[in-house]
Amino acid sequence: MASEKRNGHRRVAIVRGLRTPFAKAGTVFAGLTALDLGRMVVQELVQRTDLDPNEINQVVFGQVIPTLTAPSIAREVVLAAGLPKRIDAFTVSRACATSIQALVAGANAIALGDADVIIAGGTESMSDAPIFTSRPLAHALVASSKGKSLPDKLKPFQKLKGKDLLPVPPAIAEYSTGETMGESAEKMAKENGISREEQDLIAFNSHQNAAKAWKEGRFNDEVMHVLVPPKYEQSATKDNIVREDTSLDALSKLKPVFDRRYGSVTAGNASPLTDGAAALILMSEEKAKALGYEPLGFLRSHAFAATDPGDQLLQGPAYAAPVALKRAGMKLADIDLVEMHEAFAAQVASNIQALASKEFAKKAGFSGPVGEVDRSRLNVTGGSISIGHPFGATGARIVTQALNELKRRNKNTVLCTVCAAGGLGAAVILERA
């Protein structure tokens, strides 16, 4: 659409996006925090776009596994990046759709005229996930801190049992069901009849497409180089999870992880724990023109949805996508590309199946199936299985990747979807013109 307003609201431009390389947890970024990664990407994004920091009205940033020493990650990113201290900031969290939430929150503020320039994104360090103490040990530590003598300080620990000293890792299971995401993906594969072969093919295509994109230089302008502090002797220039040499035969030999006897979800057809950060610059269309920026694209519509986490936990995109399409006044057949977050290949296949299903449409209360997803237009430069999945950063990565590919192909529209913990789903439709 050519007009600067839709439904009386200002049109929101995505001017540019940038991310760090995505690295498998415990590798090149192992010594960095989520704040380190977020600071780096925001600093570099502002510099690369030659954006006057005084033009920035707000920063909306998110993180899924919070840094206990810097829980207000958005505000800490502003301060650590050296941006003007007057810049407003707030932190968002919507599980794996966190930076989609950041995008939408920023876009809504711009559309309503509350801001002109916003940085939105997310960051995650799975290498630096917080480790908790047991409650008895926590209570003992607090009591000990109040002791005035050494015996007083030691006394609270005398009642502890051996198990009380064990560290407590972050929960990886759904609080409401007790199931991990992998177990839920396994359940979806079985209930929806998703074969191991289809899952491995989705993973294979993800690696092949990402490897090709790197080889052809498609990521050069959207992935920054990182000299890793504090010694700056090591550098990260590419995602280190992509496997150019993987094969369907190699993938087929991997053992199931979550159901070792009857399962089909493996380390090869699931996204790995990842470190990384990504950010977007959002502006009103008028502001982008005034500052001389040519937008990558515009946010046409969005939708969030939720389903029973005890049913099909990762089926949220199939509920959100039809709503986003309706709000955009479009059908799936009108969409040029589809970017679907690959938490698990089983989840991707299940959502594609649901979008084409009359039974699912009836169950969801839609007038009819959304339609068939053309696999040749799906995740054409790779997805989370091959690139990685830093929870808070994936949405911004997908948006940047999608818009750059639309430009390269001279196409106009893309549907981006993300499944998330809690049975949540997100969908956005982006357009270039």
The C-alpha atoms of residue 185 and residue 204 are separated, in whole angstroms, by 18
Domains for the chain: give ranges and CATH numbers.
5-128+271-432 (3.40.47.10)
The one catalytic residue in 207, 302, 389, 416 is 389
Mean pLDDT throughout 164-170? Answer: 75
Q: What is the pLDDT of residues 349-385, one digit of tens each?
A: 999 999 999 999 999 999 999 999 999 999 999 999 9
Tokens of 400: 């940047």
Phi-psi region of 404 (alpha: psi -120 to 50; beta: other; left: phi over 0): alpha
CA dist 234 and 65 (Å) reads: 26
Judged by average pLDDT, the poorest of 178-182, 196-200, 247-251, 297-301 is 178-182
Question: What is the mean pLDDT of the segment spanning 137-143?
Answer: 88
Residue 37 Cα distances to 15, 29, 118, 249, 394, angstroms: 21, 9, 19, 36, 14
**416 has catalytic annotation:** no
Q: Taking CA 421 as the corner, what is the angle to CA 300 and CA 172, rounded to the nearest 5 degrees?
A: 150
pLDDT tens across 127-138, in order?
998 777 788 888
Measured distance CA(31)–CA(229) in Å, rounded? 8
**DSSP annotation of 21:** P
Q: Determine the average pLDDT of the residues in 179-193.
A: 95
Could you confirm whether 389 is annotated as catalytic? yes
Q: Please, which residues have CB within 8 angstroms of residue 383's CB and are 6 or more apart in sequence?
A: 206, 209, 210, 339, 340, 341, 342, 348
The pTM of the full predicted model, rounded to 2 decimals, is: 0.93
For range 116-123, the mean pLDDT: 98
Q: Pick the residue with more confidence: 389 or 69?
A: 389
pLDDT at 413: 98
Q: Can you tell me which residue has the tokens 């502090």?
A: 229
Establish whether 341 is a catalytic residue: no
What pLDDT score does 2 carry? 36
pLDDT at residue number 140:
87
Of the chain, the percentage scoring pLDDT greater than 90 comes to 85
* Residue 3 confidence (pLDDT): 39
- pLDDT of res. 7: 63
Using a 10 angstrom Cβ sphere, with 0-12 exposed, 13-18 middle and 19 or more buried, the burial of residue 308 is exposed
The residues pairing with 24 across neighbouring beta strands, listed in sequence order, are 274
Burial profile 312-325: b = 16 or more Cβ within 10 angstroms, e = fewer: bbbbbbbbbbbbbb
In this prediction, residues 282-310 reach a mean pLDDT of: 97
Q: What pLDDT shows up at residue 5?
A: 60
Active-site residue identified among 302, 341, 416, 419 = 419
**Nearest residue to 331 via CA among 390, 371, 283:** 371
